[in-house]
Chains A and B, each alone.
Chain A
Amino acid sequence: MRAVVCLKQVIDPLTPATSLALDVQDMKIRVRAAAPPVINGFDEQGIEAALRLRETIRELEIVCIAASERFNTDVMKRALAVGADQLILVQDPSLDTWNSYPVAYALAAAIRQIGGADLVLCGRQGSDWDNGLVPYILADLLAMPLLTLAKRVNIADGKRVEIERVLADGSMTMEAALPAIVTVTSELGALRMPSVAARLTAARKQPRQIALADLGAGAPPALAPEVIDLAIPVTGRNCTFIEAADGPGAGVRLAETLLETGAVRLGMER
């Protein structure tokens, strides 16, 4: 039985704004070298879901696949260190995009090339653009049922996958016949720490690099929305002390200040 976990290399979401730069020419966000990328956190939870499945299904093969313009191999090899059997990196300049279609096409082609998968695990969304579309497009391309937002993933009898799906006010249980695609969410729990022995072994392993051209992925539809503008949010703080003779007076003054600065607006003016 094979589980494929789709990974995305993203800008570290905790990179401070001062370390980011806009490339207005290409409409891209660039990071200074001092802040290396990370594996998308939701995707890490996908790996954790696969590792938990393998605790009961001993013969489960875990293959991690990522598609991007270029990779920081040391970062991506964390997947091998925690226990993935194989890491496949699909590389192509065209994958440096926020458009989900080319990425999903590349991933689908890679999954087909290794002979398919019984279960495909994806993070609910990428922490860089937050589109959350790749799993949907993949489900379409691979013609598999899609179960989303799992905080628990279980394979019952080798034939069906059962998940506990997170809702705003609780959870629901869903199941589908394999092969299927499941997206996982942060409630599943963080990726485990690899042992040093596993890290050292992983350090000697090399990921399998595949050029996109060798995969025979079809051309993605030209449905790409266009990025019109990009900006880094400006944050700052400004402290004002409200001075008044007494508490009620201070309250009135506070309300006035909030209105004057535009921090709050009255309902009727909306």
Chain B
Amino acid sequence: MSIELVLRLVVLLGAFVWAGFRFEQLARPLLAAPAEARLRPFLPRAWGVVVNILGHARLMRKPYSGLMHMMMLFGFLFLLTAVMQVFGEGVSPLFTLAAIGGRTWIALGQDVFAVLLLTGVAMATYQRVVWKPARFVGSNQRDAAIILSLISAVVVGMLLQNSCHLAAGRDALAAWRPVSSAIASVLVACGVTGAIAIAGATAFAWMHMLAILAFLVYIPGSKHLHVIVGVPNVYFRDLNSAGRLVTPDLEQPKLGLSDIAQLGRKQALDLYACTECGRCQELCPAYASGKPLSPKLLIMNMRDHLLEAQGAGGHREGAGGPLIGGAISEETIWSCTTCRACMEACPLFIEHVPKIVDMRRHLSMEAGRVPDGISGAMLSVEQRGHPWAGTRFSRLDWCRDLDVRVLAPGETTDTLLWVGCTAAFDARAQKVARALVRLLHGAGVDFAILGDAESCTGDAARRTGNDYLFQLQASANVETLNTRAFRRIVSICPHCVNTLKNEYPDFGGSYDVVHHSQLLGELMGQGHLRSMLRGDREALAITFHDPCYLGRYNGEFEAPRAVLAGAGAAIAEMERSHGRSFCCGGGGGRAFAVEPPDQRVNVLRATQARATSAAVVATACPFCLLMLDDGCKAVARLEGDSTPLQQVRDIAEILDDAMRVADETRAPT
């Protein structure tokens, strides 16, 4: 046994033990974490891995980065053959992959993919060093540099090892190794032949091997851990409807997430999977507005905290300081609008929003620390069944002069109009409900409302962590709904739609729920409203703001646009629309929060709307309506009178305006 072989074995063993130790440190908190039931169903889960990992579905939304990653991933996978080769040959000179094509197509593939991989590394380096997109702010740049260097070392080591073999004339595969051959001819021209080349081959084989082992040992503490946990993280992704948060048992001793050890296994795996790519940060409205939340930093900080609290030496009570108020500030937790842009952007399906809501659950249900505006609104839901404390209206005032039936227990209707608190209690939003009622009358829809029996769905309570209040509201509403007969529910508020449709089944209420955009689209499709459209309409330039809980949460992007088109509008899209839409700032209870004047999300969105120069900003959510109305006024004030104030209107109001029938219930706008 040669000394070199002994050395190889010692290094190999040492690296494996070291890496094993580091991986074990990481695995410990995962194994200790309570497992979620995320193993089945196998096929859709596995298919998601194929589409998202091999197919790069989400990564390709950024073509440059997507292509770069594709070259690196497939290069890495193919060069595993070279890894096998170098370790195999290192241990036994008889080792060969010849039986499976090691001397033909594998050799060719290694050359080709080496070039692709190096191209990927070059692109990544260009992106990190020259381009520097803002999404990398806060990411660990040193880590990225080390990873790129190690990858280069592996590939260059392999290429030069093969080239030296060729230069030494010990490899007859020149035809199958075009790149290595080209390098070899340069080496030969420089006088690297014979014994020098053989020594070079040995040296580069060492470089190749050491770089791989360094990589192995380095990975556990790096963002590059995603090469291992990426696949399981995608496989274990949440397959429930996006709008459904898990219903916690309120009798358990600890409510909400206040100790990192409470994290479920997939939730903890999320922390390891983060590649710090910043696609979440780039789309986060809270981050854009200057608030302390970045979804990327949230995950990175939770990861560091997990390792500090549970890594070396196992779980120690209080190690690493508190999670809330230590690793993650309360202000960060309250900054989130739950708009879900981060979760839709994440290539590895990390679940940011559930973690934030879980920490809010602790703050709301255990600590009793909730920001002023939000706590007042939630107290009002508890006391009055709606969050709009101080309204001068009762739940029926908006429709006193309209012919609207209140559905009593035991009665039947085709369509139950779930008005929602904002449309019932806010003077501006009431106009939307009134417009919808006129349209429903016009289309001859049999509908009724619940009147005083309707109570807040509890969406904002749930998303601000007060699941106790949410569960009270849900149970009461389900009881109310189940004593009345209807075919379906239609609501003006996407938050109500989401909660009624996706979250009430947990409380024994399964209903067919549609948003008013969907109902109006359907009615227009059936020709019910078309005949009533005025003929003398001018095409109105409109931009449409996608409400998060209609679009990202419930996948409806087209119905509101179809209604607008039907009303004769020409739609000018904002830079951020559809799945990438930018929140109005009102989700997740933020509609009730006090926004710092220089950090207002609605002002940012109004600025984006203004850039389209459309006369009207249309939306389909009462929160969006109020937030954008405010935002547009603020922006118009900031910009002086350079352009006129944009009107903010609901799609129902716009369609109602396009109707022929004159109606005295139509308030002047």
Interface residues of A (CB under 8 A from B): 12, 14, 16-19, 32-36, 38, 75, 192-197, 199-200, 235
**Chain B residues, Cβ within 8 Å of A192:** 368
Contact flag A34-B368 (CB < 8 Å), given A17-B392, A196-B255: no
B257 to chain A, nearest CB (A): 14
Beyond the given A193-B370, A195-B367, A197-B255, please list 10 additional residue pairs across the A-B interface where CB-CB is below 8 A.
A14-B384, A16-B397, A18-B392, A34-B385, A36-B383, A192-B368, A193-B379, A195-B368, A196-B255, A199-B468
Docked complex: B363-419 residues within 8 A CB-CB of A: 364-370, 375, 379-380, 383-385, 389-395, 397
B451 to chain A, nearest CB (A): 9
Q: How far is the CA of A200 from the CA of B364 in the complex (A)?
A: 15
**Chain B residues, Cβ within 8 Å of A16:** 391-394, 397
B368 touches A193 (CB 8 A): yes
* CB<8 Å pairs between A and B, sample of 7: A17-B392, A32-B452, A193-B364, A195-B366, A196-B365, A196-B366, A199-B468
A12 touches B383 (CB 8 A): yes
Per a CB cutoff under 8 Å, which of A17, A194, A200, A235 touches B368? Answer: A194
**Chain A residues, Cβ within 8 Å of B368:** 192-195
Q: How far is the CA of A32 from the CA of B391 in the complex (A)?
A: 16
Q: How far is the CA of A228 from the CA of B623 in the complex (A)?
A: 45
B251 CB within 8 Å of chain A: yes
Q: Give the number of chain B interface residues (Cβ < 8 Å).
A: 26
**Chain A residues, Cβ within 8 Å of B366:** 195-197
B250 touches A200 (CB 8 A): yes
Residue of B nearest to A19 (CB): B394
Interface string of B478-501 (1 = CB under 8 A from A): 000000000000000000000000
Q: How far is the CA of A197 from the CA of B367 in the complex (A)?
A: 11
B393 touches A12 (CB 8 A): no
**Chain A residues, Cβ within 8 Å of B379:** 193
**Chain B residues, Cβ within 8 Å of A18:** 392-394, 397
**Chain A residues, Cβ within 8 Å of B383:** 12, 36, 38, 75
**Chain A residues, Cβ within 8 Å of B390:** 14
**Chain A residues, Cβ within 8 Å of B395:** 34
B388 to chain A, nearest CB (A): 9
B466 to chain A, nearest CB (A): 8
B384 touches A35 (CB 8 A): yes
Residue of B nearest to A191 (CB): B379
Residue of A nearest to B376 (CB): A190
Residue of A nearest to B389 (CB): A14
**Chain A residues, Cβ within 8 Å of B255:** 195-197
Q: How far is the CA of A72 from the CA of B526 in the complex (A)?
A: 50
Which of A14, A17, A199, A200 counts the most chain B CB atoms within 10 A? A14
B251 touches A200 (CB 8 A): yes
Q: How far is the CA of A197 from the CA of B256 in the complex (A)?
A: 12
Interface string of B330-368 (1 = CB under 8 A from A): 000000000000000000000000000000000011111
B468 touches A196 (CB 8 A): yes
Q: How far is the CA of A57 from the CA of B370 in the complex (A)?
A: 26
Q: How far is the CA of A163 from the CA of B436 in the complex (A)?
A: 56
Contact flag A12-B365 (CB < 8 Å), given A18-B393, A235-B392: no
**Chain B residues, Cβ within 8 Å of A193:** 364, 368-370, 375, 379
B614 to chain A, nearest CB (A): 29
A196 touches B250 (CB 8 A): yes
A190 to chain B, nearest CB (A): 8
Q: How far is the CA of A200 from the CA of B366 in the complex (A)?
A: 12
Q: How far is the CA of A18 from the CA of B396 in the complex (A)?
A: 9
Q: How far is the CA of A235 from the CA of B389 in the complex (A)?
A: 18
Which of B250, B366, B369, B394 counts the most chain A CB atoms within 10 A? B394
Contact flag A34-B468 (CB < 8 Å), given A12-B384, A18-B394, A196-B250: no
Q: Closest 7 CB pairs between A and B?
A: A193-B368, A34-B452, A196-B365, A19-B394, A196-B468, A18-B394, A16-B392
A195 touches B365 (CB 8 A): yes
Residue of B nearest to A20 (CB): B394
**Chain A residues, Cβ within 8 Å of B389:** 14
